[in-house]
Amino acid sequence: MSPPTKSKYEMAKTVVSTIGSVAAAAMVARSVARDYLPPEFQDYLYFGLRGFINKFSTHLTMVIYESEGLSDNEIYNATQIYLTDRISNDIHRLKVSKSTNDNKINTTIELNEEFTDIYNEVKFMWRLVSKKTPTREYFSYETMTQTTKSDEWSMVLTFHRKHKDLVMNEYFPFILNYSKTKNQQDKTVKLFTIDKNNGYSKYETSWTSVNLDHPSKFATLAMDPDVKEKVMKDLDRFVARREYYRKVGKAWKRGYLLYGPPGTGKSSLIAAIANYLNFDIYDLELTDIKSNSDLRRLLVSTANRSILVVEDIDCSVQLHDRDTVEEAKASARKKDDDAAAPKITLSGFLNFIDGLWSGCGDERIIIFTTNRKDKLDPALLRPGRMDVHIHMSYCTPSGFRLLASNYHNLTQHNLFEEIENWIRKVEITPAEVAEQLLKDDDPDIALRGLIEFFEVKKKENEEAKIKAQEEEERLAKEKEKMQQDKLVAKEDNLDAKEDEKKQESNESNKSESDENDDN
């Protein structure tokens, strides 16, 4: 070994030995301090030493905690999503998880694992840390669940302090936007329904969810093509107008009314909208809600980018504040029944869809369905509450061709013309056509079965029209008879009053006559 090489070797050996001695001394000092010094003095030394080292450090550290009080920290959740997509081969430990409701396996950084991210040619060091805290319970209004925690998780970000403005003004906003887009792309659409037994107290209701696996898409929806295109354009326009809604001072929401006979595809259209926008569905059953305050609380607990559905609005609950005198008297005779009935008023419901509470959230769609549009209160139908009215009609020739393509991969058949002629003459719903097409895998047998069904349906419709006409005539006769009875009763009442007046007059005359005789 040459003298220069030997000299370098001895120097390296001395440095390593010195580092080892210092490390050993530090460990001894740490052990002695931990065993013999009070905790307050230990903290004083620790923070003093850290403050001394920080004076010479060129780096800045930011701590992003998992939650702030009872609310989740949006930046923490965003960094989890962002860093998951940035994981490289340099990381040696990953945490793998999959919940029951998720369709994919998730990977994230393991505890205390470090990861370097580069943004605008600047290095950022990330590390996931956790520390033990006293066990505590709290109720989350965002997830509507009771949670117990004994660990405090946080993401630690370290970077050169000269890039602080870059982090606050560009890096964090970039992470938030990235995670929002990614989360929406990978989102599993859920269907929420009311759960009476899962509230904060036994007297409250809350939402519970399942995955929405409904396969309905606009491409397979048996609707009029023009109406379908109109709906899709309106949805695209709505989701792209965030700044416009803010500019005009209007809540970012859109109301739809789907009306038409049963079986015309109202529920399928709702599922298609949810799949198209990747929005969750909240199925609101008004009969499960006790009061206007419960209605407001449920509204506040719904998430942004969601669809609120109120089906069969005409018959789900009586929304009338403006009773006639007769209705008021009838209500007075049913106090016991009214005490058990839902206490949602029309004014409370309108405030929910178009008042101050409607602004609690962004990018929401409210969909109402009804079989009888004429039975709805006019106050519900005006723009701002139900902005778009969509008539779900009976099956059309174009709707039938789409169903034939979906169910039997048919674009042409020698029976199509006959079936389309039947469709123009007989009212039949898309659901009924689909049911007939499902009955056999052989297209010829299925289509001939559909033609036979048309013949049966025609007779049923004619019989139904005759019954409806007879019922209408019966009601008209009953109404006429009631009017006649009222008229007769009125005449009898007048005659009775006239007889009473005559009797009073006769008695008065007789009394006067008796007085004259006495005189």
Residues 203, 333 within the same domain: yes
Which of 204-208, 319-323, 434-438 shows the lowest per-residue confidence on average (mean pLDDT)? 319-323
Q: Where are the alpha helices (DSSP H) in 281-396?
A: 292-300, 325-332, 335-340, 346-354, 378-381
In a domain, 33, yes or no: yes
Which tokens hold the place of 189? 């659409």
What is the pLDDT, as a whole number, of residue 41? 59
Residues 90, 201 within the same domain: no
pLDDT above 70 (res 200)? no
Boundary residue ending a domain (18, 42, 57): 57
Task: Quickly state the pLDDT bin for 19 (edges 50, 70, 90).
Answer: low
Number of folded domains that form the chain = 4
- Percentage of residues of the chain with pLDDT beyond 90: 27
What are residue 146's phi and psi, to 5 degrees? -90, 130
In a domain, 7, yes or no: no
CA 207 – CA 124 distance, rounded (Å)? 40
Residues 6+ apart with CB under 8 A from 376: 313, 314, 370
Q: Which long-range contacts (CB under 8 A, 24 or more apart) does 31-38 make?
A: none
Which tokens hold the place of 214? 């409904």
The model's pLDDT over 216-236, given as tens digits with 9 standing for 90+, comes to 999 989 888 899 999 999 999
What is the pLDDT, as a whole number, of residue 440? 92
Residues 6+ apart with CB under 8 A from 54: none
Residues 195, 321 within the same domain: yes
What are residue 263's phi and psi, to 5 degrees? 90, 10
CA 136 – CA 17 distance, rounded (Å)? 47
Residue with tokens 């038409």: 260
* 102 touches 186 (CB < 8 A): no
Residues 124, 157 within the same domain: yes
The model's pLDDT over 463-473, given as tens digits with 9 standing for 90+, comes to 888 888 888 88
pLDDT above 50 (res 323)? no
Residues 360, 224 within the same domain: yes
pLDDT above 80 (res 512)? no
**Nearest-CA neighbor of 272 among 450, 392, 407, 408?**
392
Question: What value does the CA radius of gyration of the chain take, rounded to a whole number of Å?
Answer: 38
Residues 63, 44 within the same domain: no
In a domain, 9, yes or no: no
Residues 48, 62 within the same domain: no
What is the pLDDT, as a whole number, of residue 230? 94
Residues 271, 365 within the same domain: yes
Q: How many other C-beta atoms lie within 10 A of the C-beta of residue 358? A: 20
Residues 182, 196 within the same domain: no
How many residues in total does the chain contain?
A: 519
What is the pLDDT, as a whole number, of residue 44? 58
What is the pLDDT, as a whole number, of residue 15? 59
Boundary residue ending a domain (367, 391, 415): 391
Residues 6+ apart with CB under 8 A from 324: none
Residues 6+ apart with CB under 8 A from 103: 188, 211
The CATH number covering residue 311 comes to 3.40.50.300
Query: Residue 217, CB half-sphere, CA atoms under 13 Å: how many?
Result: 5
Q: Which residue has the higher pLDDT, 196 or 224?
A: 224
Q: Which CA distances in Å does 459 have to 35, 397, 409, 466?
A: 95, 21, 30, 11
The domain of 202 spans 190-391
In a domain, 13, yes or no: no
- Percentage of residues of the chain with pLDDT beyond 70: 70
The model's pLDDT over 82-127, given as tens digits with 9 standing for 90+, comes to 888 877 666 677 778 776 666 677 777 778 888 888 899 999 999 8
* 284 touches 344 (CB < 8 A): no
Q: Which residue has the higher pLDDT, 267 or 57?
A: 267
Task: Quickly state the pLDDT bin for 18 (edges 50, 70, 90).
Answer: low
Residues 237, 337 within the same domain: yes
**What kind and span of H or E run contains 117?**
strand 114-119
What is the pLDDT, as a whole number, of residue 236? 95
pLDDT above 70 (res 198)? no
In a domain, 499, yes or no: no
Query: Residue 433, CB half-sphere, CA atoms under 13 Å: how many?
Result: 30
**Mean pLDDT throughout 365-386?**
83
What is the pLDDT, as a whole number, of residue 183? 79
Q: Is the dihedral of CA 115, 118, 124, 130 positive or negative?
A: negative
pLDDT above 90 (res 505)? no
Task: Quickly state the pLDDT bin for 328 (edges 50, 70, 90).
Answer: very low
Query: Residue 436, CB half-sphere, CA atoms under 13 Å: how many?
Result: 22
In a domain, 517, yes or no: no
Boundary residue ending a domain (340, 372, 391): 391
What is the pLDDT, as a whole number, of residue 325? 40
What is the pLDDT, as a whole number, of residue 326? 44
pLDDT above 60 (res 340)? no
Q: How many other C-beta atoms lie within 10 A of the C-beta of residue 159? A: 21
What are residue 334's phi and psi, to 5 degrees? -125, 45
Task: Look up residue 343 and give its DSSP letter.
Answer: B
Q: Is the dihedral of CA 388, 392, 396, 401 positive or negative?
A: positive
In a domain, 96, yes or no: yes
**Mean pLDDT throughout 248-275?**
90
In a domain, 16, yes or no: no
Residues 249, 110 within the same domain: no
Q: How far is CA 156 from the centre of its chain?
A: 34
pLDDT above 70 (res 141)? no
Task: Quickly state the pLDDT bin for 56 (edges 50, 70, 90).
Answer: low
Residues 238, 334 within the same domain: yes
